[in-house]
Amino acid sequence: MQTIKLNNGIEMPLLGLGVYLMNDPEECERSVLTALEAGYRLIDTASAYGNEEVVGHAIRKSNVAREDLFITTKLWVRDAGYANTKKAFEDSLNRLQLEYLDLYLIHQAVGDYYGSWRAMEELYKEGKIRAIGISNFFPDRAADLIAHNEIVPAVNQIEVHPFYQRSDTQAFLESKGVQIQSWASFAEGRNNLFTNETLASIGKKYNKSVAQVTLRWLIQRGIAVIPKSVRQERIIENADIWNFELTSADMDAISELDKNQSAFFDHRDPQIISKWIPRKFRL
């Protein structure tokens, strides 16, 4: 499995398994074990997903040494703030039954995430987290956080796929040494991604699926990926992306698919944000 060096020098796998919406415990555990057996070493979860404990069970059942794994989880909005973050981190660690995390992310740029970042900087310095980062931060929020804190986020996990390519965001984050990790790499199938003619025709040249072409396109852009699947054959297929390379013409063709807008919702929409804010803080 190929890796990329983060801004603090640690190596992170470019490919991992995301477990968002893996709500069935048996299915989630089976998927994690399948991925680990297929060579995956990065597992991405979150407190908001409700499956950290199941991920922990799968890790313990596997034969993979802890030092060979890269485990990510995330801090949810209701736990924002210095003291809340310290407790939420320990709760996540206990559910995962781990002694440390490889990557801890602030899930959304909502609430007292400055207090959260101070707590995470301390946990990082104590050796309880190997790297700290953010998720769903637009460039202005990321720039402000970087400017007013000691540690630059190692990762920003954001929506990136052929229909929302985020080139300007990527250029800014790279200038600050922040690694992009894509969520919803397949846009969850929206805009008929899996039958897209451009992606399918490129895949036909290499005898690869649309999913494999999409992941390869992201990785060639230097973007890490965490595709989710509960099907064994898809988990294995998604990892089979290291034996071909897209040409510049292929990359240019895919760039034409960009709609420059989210396939889901705007993380700056006040109505969306208000749903995440704990009721006691709502106006």
What amino acid positions are annotated as catalytic residues? 49
CA distance 161 to 182: 7
Contacts of 64 (CB under 8 A, 6+ apart): 36, 41
Q: Are 112 and 81 in contact (CB under 8 A)?
A: yes
Q: DSSP E strands: which ranges in the chain?
A: 3-5, 11-13, 16-18, 42-44, 70-75, 103-106, 132-135, 155-159, 179-183, 224-225
Q: What angle do CA 142, 147, 153 make, to 5 degrees?
A: 50
Assess contact for 173 and 180: CB atoms under 8 A.
Answer: yes
> Is 57 known to sit in a ligand binding site?
no
**Which residues neighbour 33 within 8 Å (Cβ) at sequence distance 6 or greater?**
58, 61, 62
3-state secondary structure of 16: strand
Any bridge partners for residue 68, and if so which? none
CA atoms within 13 A on the CB side of 207: 2
Sequence ranges of the binding site for substrate: 107
Sequence ranges of the binding site: 107
